Amino acid sequence: MEKLYIINNLGERELFSLKKITNSLYRAGVPASLAKEIAAIVEEEVYPGITTKEIYRKTQDILIKEYPLGGIRFNLKEAMRKLGPTGFSFEKFIGAIFSDKGFKVKLNQQIPGSCITYEIDFTAQKENLFYIGECKYRNLPGDKVHSGDALINYARFLDIKKGNFFNRFNQENLEIKSLLVTNTKFTDRAVKYSKCVGVEILGWNYPKQKGLEYLIESQRLYPITILPSLRRGLAEVFAEKKMMLVQDLLKTDIKKLEKMIRIPQKYLIPLIKEANILLESKYDL
Protein backbone atom coordinates (compact mmCIF):
# COMPACT_ATOMS: atom_id res chain seq x y z
CA MET A 1 0.00 0.00 0.00
CA GLU A 2 1.35 3.44 -0.96
CA LYS A 3 1.92 6.00 1.76
CA LEU A 4 -1.42 7.38 2.81
CA TYR A 5 -1.83 10.49 4.93
CA ILE A 6 -4.78 11.11 7.24
CA ILE A 7 -5.82 14.05 9.43
CA ASN A 8 -5.31 13.59 13.17
CA ASN A 9 -7.24 15.20 16.05
CA LEU A 10 -5.00 18.26 15.94
CA GLY A 11 -5.84 18.86 12.29
CA GLU A 12 -2.38 17.76 11.18
CA ARG A 13 -1.41 15.31 8.46
CA GLU A 14 0.09 12.06 9.64
CA LEU A 15 0.91 8.74 8.06
CA PHE A 16 -1.84 6.14 8.33
CA SER A 17 -0.83 3.28 10.60
CA LEU A 18 -2.57 -0.08 10.49
CA LYS A 19 -0.63 -1.06 13.60
CA LYS A 20 -2.28 1.73 15.61
CA ILE A 21 -5.72 0.37 14.78
CA THR A 22 -4.71 -3.18 15.64
CA ASN A 23 -3.15 -2.13 18.94
CA SER A 24 -6.22 -0.12 19.91
CA LEU A 25 -8.35 -3.21 19.26
CA TYR A 26 -6.02 -5.32 21.39
CA ARG A 27 -6.36 -2.82 24.24
CA ALA A 28 -10.14 -3.18 23.99
CA GLY A 29 -9.72 -6.90 24.58
CA VAL A 30 -10.53 -7.98 21.03
CA PRO A 31 -9.11 -11.44 20.17
CA ALA A 32 -6.03 -11.20 17.93
CA SER A 33 -7.55 -12.91 14.89
CA LEU A 34 -10.67 -10.73 14.96
CA ALA A 35 -8.61 -7.57 15.59
CA LYS A 36 -6.55 -8.22 12.46
CA GLU A 37 -9.68 -8.97 10.45
CA ILE A 38 -11.40 -5.74 11.54
CA ALA A 39 -8.24 -3.68 10.97
CA ALA A 40 -8.02 -5.07 7.42
CA ILE A 41 -11.64 -4.07 6.72
CA VAL A 42 -11.04 -0.56 8.03
CA GLU A 43 -7.85 -0.28 5.97
CA GLU A 44 -9.83 -0.92 2.79
CA GLU A 45 -12.16 1.98 3.62
CA VAL A 46 -9.43 4.48 4.43
CA TYR A 47 -8.77 7.25 1.88
CA PRO A 48 -6.37 10.22 1.71
CA GLY A 49 -7.47 13.01 4.06
CA ILE A 50 -9.84 10.91 6.17
CA THR A 51 -9.89 12.02 9.80
CA THR A 52 -8.89 9.83 12.71
CA LYS A 53 -12.36 10.52 14.12
CA GLU A 54 -13.95 8.90 11.06
CA ILE A 55 -11.55 5.94 11.26
CA TYR A 56 -12.49 5.56 14.91
CA ARG A 57 -16.22 5.61 14.06
CA LYS A 58 -15.83 3.01 11.31
CA THR A 59 -13.84 0.75 13.63
CA GLN A 60 -16.34 0.99 16.45
CA ASP A 61 -19.34 0.39 14.15
CA ILE A 62 -17.80 -2.91 13.02
CA LEU A 63 -16.84 -3.84 16.58
CA ILE A 64 -20.32 -3.28 17.99
CA LYS A 65 -21.68 -5.77 15.45
CA GLU A 66 -18.90 -8.36 15.63
CA TYR A 67 -17.79 -8.15 19.26
CA PRO A 68 -20.11 -6.00 21.46
CA LEU A 69 -17.91 -6.19 24.57
CA GLY A 70 -14.90 -4.89 22.66
CA GLY A 71 -17.05 -2.29 20.94
CA ILE A 72 -18.08 -0.79 24.27
CA ARG A 73 -14.59 -0.92 25.77
CA PHE A 74 -13.17 0.64 22.62
CA ASN A 75 -15.17 3.76 23.51
CA LEU A 76 -13.33 4.46 26.79
CA LYS A 77 -11.22 7.43 25.72
CA GLU A 78 -14.18 9.14 24.06
CA ALA A 79 -16.30 8.34 27.13
CA MET A 80 -13.83 10.25 29.29
CA ARG A 81 -14.16 13.29 27.02
CA LYS A 82 -17.94 13.13 27.46
CA LEU A 83 -17.55 13.81 31.18
CA GLY A 84 -17.96 17.51 30.49
CA PRO A 85 -18.23 20.16 29.28
CA THR A 86 -17.33 21.91 32.55
CA GLY A 87 -15.31 19.09 34.10
CA PHE A 88 -17.51 18.76 37.20
CA SER A 89 -18.74 15.36 36.04
CA PHE A 90 -15.11 14.28 35.72
CA GLU A 91 -14.53 15.32 39.34
CA LYS A 92 -17.56 13.28 40.39
CA PHE A 93 -16.27 10.32 38.41
CA ILE A 94 -12.84 10.47 40.07
CA GLY A 95 -14.59 10.81 43.43
CA ALA A 96 -16.65 7.71 42.66
CA ILE A 97 -13.47 5.75 41.86
CA PHE A 98 -11.88 6.69 45.18
CA SER A 99 -15.11 5.95 47.06
CA ASP A 100 -15.18 2.50 45.46
CA LYS A 101 -11.62 1.97 46.75
CA GLY A 102 -12.69 2.69 50.31
CA PHE A 103 -11.82 6.39 50.59
CA LYS A 104 -14.04 8.95 52.26
CA VAL A 105 -14.46 11.55 49.52
CA LYS A 106 -15.63 15.15 49.62
CA LEU A 107 -16.05 17.23 46.47
CA ASN A 108 -15.54 20.96 45.95
CA GLN A 109 -14.26 21.84 49.41
CA GLN A 110 -13.39 25.37 50.52
CA ILE A 111 -10.09 24.88 52.34
CA PRO A 112 -8.17 27.71 54.01
CA GLY A 113 -4.47 28.04 53.37
CA SER A 114 -1.94 30.19 55.15
CA CYS A 115 -2.57 33.07 52.73
CA ILE A 116 -5.99 32.58 51.10
CA THR A 117 -8.85 30.07 50.87
CA TYR A 118 -8.99 27.63 47.94
CA GLU A 119 -11.72 25.64 46.24
CA ILE A 120 -10.37 22.10 46.11
CA ASP A 121 -11.85 19.65 43.59
CA PHE A 122 -11.83 16.76 46.03
CA THR A 123 -10.32 15.37 49.19
CA ALA A 124 -9.99 11.64 49.80
CA GLN A 125 -9.08 10.02 53.10
CA LYS A 126 -8.47 6.39 53.97
CA GLU A 127 -7.07 5.63 57.39
CA ASN A 128 -3.93 7.81 57.73
CA LEU A 129 -3.65 8.73 54.05
CA PHE A 130 -5.14 12.07 53.00
CA TYR A 131 -5.19 13.32 49.39
CA ILE A 132 -5.78 16.90 48.31
CA GLY A 133 -6.94 16.31 44.75
CA GLU A 134 -6.97 18.59 41.73
CA CYS A 135 -8.72 17.52 38.51
CA LYS A 136 -7.69 18.89 35.14
CA TYR A 137 -10.37 18.00 32.61
CA ARG A 138 -9.67 18.47 28.91
CA ASN A 139 -12.34 18.03 26.22
CA LEU A 140 -10.23 18.97 23.20
CA PRO A 141 -8.45 16.04 21.48
CA GLY A 142 -4.70 16.27 21.88
CA ASP A 143 -4.82 18.82 24.72
CA LYS A 144 -2.47 18.11 27.64
CA VAL A 145 -1.76 19.19 31.21
CA HIS A 146 1.29 21.44 31.25
CA SER A 147 3.97 22.31 33.78
CA GLY A 148 2.16 25.57 34.62
CA ASP A 149 -0.80 23.54 35.89
CA ALA A 150 1.56 21.42 37.98
CA LEU A 151 3.25 24.52 39.44
CA ILE A 152 -0.06 26.08 40.47
CA ASN A 153 -1.26 22.82 41.97
CA TYR A 154 1.85 22.42 44.13
CA ALA A 155 1.84 26.06 45.29
CA ARG A 156 -1.78 25.64 46.39
CA PHE A 157 -0.91 22.42 48.21
CA LEU A 158 1.99 24.03 50.12
CA ASP A 159 -0.15 26.97 51.25
CA ILE A 160 -2.89 24.63 52.50
CA LYS A 161 -0.35 22.59 54.47
CA LYS A 162 0.88 25.80 56.13
CA GLY A 163 -2.67 26.74 57.14
CA ASN A 164 -4.72 25.44 60.05
CA PHE A 165 -6.98 23.05 58.11
CA PHE A 166 -5.22 19.94 59.38
CA ASN A 167 -5.26 21.01 63.04
CA ARG A 168 -8.47 19.02 63.44
CA PHE A 169 -6.68 15.79 62.49
CA ASN A 170 -4.25 13.65 64.42
CA GLN A 171 -1.25 14.77 62.39
CA GLU A 172 1.26 12.50 64.09
CA ASN A 173 0.52 9.63 61.69
CA LEU A 174 -1.32 11.53 58.95
CA GLU A 175 0.27 11.34 55.50
CA ILE A 176 -0.83 14.33 53.42
CA LYS A 177 -0.33 14.11 49.66
CA SER A 178 -1.10 16.20 46.61
CA LEU A 179 -2.75 14.38 43.70
CA LEU A 180 -3.14 15.81 40.19
CA VAL A 181 -5.57 13.92 37.93
CA THR A 182 -6.48 14.37 34.28
CA ASN A 183 -8.48 12.56 31.61
CA THR A 184 -5.72 13.23 29.10
CA LYS A 185 -1.91 13.21 29.11
CA PHE A 186 0.74 15.22 30.94
CA THR A 187 3.59 16.96 29.16
CA ASP A 188 7.08 15.68 29.97
CA ARG A 189 7.83 18.86 31.92
CA ALA A 190 4.67 18.47 34.02
CA VAL A 191 5.69 14.89 34.84
CA LYS A 192 9.28 15.87 35.65
CA TYR A 193 8.24 18.73 37.94
CA SER A 194 5.56 16.73 39.78
CA LYS A 195 7.96 13.85 40.40
CA CYS A 196 10.61 16.29 41.62
CA VAL A 197 8.35 17.87 44.27
CA GLY A 198 6.63 14.61 45.26
CA VAL A 199 3.18 15.21 43.77
CA GLU A 200 1.35 12.06 42.64
CA ILE A 201 -0.16 12.32 39.17
CA LEU A 202 -2.69 10.14 37.41
CA GLY A 203 -3.61 10.50 33.75
CA TRP A 204 -3.92 8.72 30.44
CA ASN A 205 -1.08 6.19 30.25
CA TYR A 206 0.59 7.66 33.32
CA PRO A 207 2.04 6.10 35.37
CA LYS A 208 3.22 3.92 32.49
CA GLN A 209 0.94 0.87 32.16
CA LYS A 210 -0.70 1.94 35.44
CA GLY A 211 -2.54 5.01 34.21
CA LEU A 212 -6.17 6.07 34.50
CA GLU A 213 -7.28 3.74 31.71
CA TYR A 214 -5.52 0.81 33.45
CA LEU A 215 -7.23 1.65 36.75
CA ILE A 216 -10.61 1.81 35.05
CA GLU A 217 -10.15 -1.42 33.08
CA SER A 218 -8.53 -3.49 35.83
CA GLN A 219 -11.14 -2.52 38.43
CA ARG A 220 -14.00 -2.30 35.91
CA LEU A 221 -14.77 1.23 37.10
CA TYR A 222 -16.17 2.39 33.76
CA PRO A 223 -17.82 5.81 33.44
CA ILE A 224 -21.49 5.61 32.54
CA THR A 225 -20.70 7.69 29.42
CA ILE A 226 -19.06 4.64 27.85
CA LEU A 227 -22.44 3.04 27.11
CA PRO A 228 -23.42 3.50 23.42
CA SER A 229 -27.15 3.84 24.19
CA LEU A 230 -26.72 6.71 26.64
CA ARG A 231 -28.83 9.49 25.16
CA ARG A 232 -27.68 13.11 25.19
CA GLY A 233 -28.56 14.76 28.48
CA LEU A 234 -28.97 11.53 30.46
CA ALA A 235 -25.40 11.65 31.73
CA GLU A 236 -26.24 14.83 33.65
CA VAL A 237 -29.37 13.19 35.08
CA PHE A 238 -27.34 10.25 36.37
CA ALA A 239 -24.64 12.58 37.71
CA GLU A 240 -27.23 14.46 39.78
CA LYS A 241 -28.07 11.13 41.45
CA LYS A 242 -24.36 10.40 41.99
CA MET A 243 -24.49 7.55 39.48
CA MET A 244 -21.17 7.97 37.68
CA LEU A 245 -20.12 4.35 37.18
CA VAL A 246 -21.61 1.69 34.92
CA GLN A 247 -21.88 -0.62 37.92
CA ASP A 248 -24.27 1.88 39.57
CA LEU A 249 -26.91 0.91 36.99
CA LEU A 250 -26.94 -2.67 38.25
CA LYS A 251 -27.28 -1.95 41.95
CA THR A 252 -30.97 -1.08 41.84
CA ASP A 253 -34.03 -2.90 40.51
CA ILE A 254 -35.10 -1.36 37.20
CA LYS A 255 -38.53 -0.33 38.52
CA LYS A 256 -36.97 1.47 41.48
CA LEU A 257 -34.39 2.99 39.16
CA GLU A 258 -37.11 4.28 36.83
CA LYS A 259 -38.90 5.92 39.75
CA MET A 260 -35.72 7.34 41.27
CA ILE A 261 -34.35 9.06 38.19
CA ARG A 262 -37.66 9.48 36.30
CA ILE A 263 -36.42 7.93 33.08
CA PRO A 264 -38.74 5.52 31.19
CA GLN A 265 -37.72 1.86 31.14
CA LYS A 266 -37.45 1.92 27.34
CA TYR A 267 -34.33 4.10 27.78
CA LEU A 268 -32.99 2.16 30.75
CA ILE A 269 -33.24 -1.36 29.31
CA PRO A 270 -30.62 -0.85 26.54
CA LEU A 271 -28.27 0.74 29.06
CA ILE A 272 -28.64 -2.14 31.50
CA LYS A 273 -28.09 -4.68 28.73
CA GLU A 274 -24.88 -2.90 27.70
CA ALA A 275 -23.80 -2.66 31.34
CA ASN A 276 -24.25 -6.42 31.67
CA ILE A 277 -22.17 -7.01 28.54
CA LEU A 278 -19.42 -4.74 29.80
CA LEU A 279 -19.33 -6.09 33.34
CA GLU A 280 -20.26 -9.63 32.33
CA SER A 281 -22.86 -9.72 35.06
CA LYS A 282 -26.44 -10.97 35.16
CA TYR A 283 -29.47 -8.82 35.70
CA ASP A 284 -33.10 -9.85 35.39
CA LEU A 285 -35.07 -7.30 33.42
53-63 per-position pLDDT tens digit? 899 999 999 99
Amino acid letter, 161 = K
CB–CB of 182/135 below 8 Å?
yes
Give yes or no: residues 259 and 207 share one domain.
no
The identity of residue 271, as a single letter, is: L
Domain total in the chain: 3
**DSSP reduced 3-state for 97:** helix
pLDDT per position as a tens digit, 104-151: 999 999 999 999 999 999 999 999 999 999 999 988 877 899 999 999
In this predicted structure, the answer to whether residue 40 has a pLDDT above a threshold of 70 is yes
Q: Does any domain span residue 80?
A: no
Domain extent, residue 270, equals: 222-279
| 134 shares its domain with 249 | no
Q: Is 267 left (phi over 0), alpha (psi -120 to 50) or beta?
A: alpha
Supply the CATH number for residue 139's domain: 3.40.1350.10
Are residues 184 and 252 located together in one domain of the fold?
Answer: no
For residue 27, is pLDDT > 60? yes
- The answer to whether residues 112 and 193 belong to one domain is yes
pTM of the model: 0.85
From 41, 74, 107, give the residue that closes a domain.
74
Residues 136 and 231 in one domain: no
Alpha-carbon distance of 252 to 103, in angstroms, equals 22
Same domain for 185 and 250, yes or no, is no
Domain identity same for 229 and 109? no
Higher per-residue pLDDT: 74 or 85: 74
Q: How far is CA 54 from CA 7, 41, 204, 220, in A?
A: 10, 14, 22, 27
Residue with more model confidence, 78 or 282: 78
pLDDT of 284 higher than 70: no
Indicate if the pLDDT at residue 264 is higher than 90.
no
Q: How many Å separate Cα 8 from the centre of its chain?
A: 21
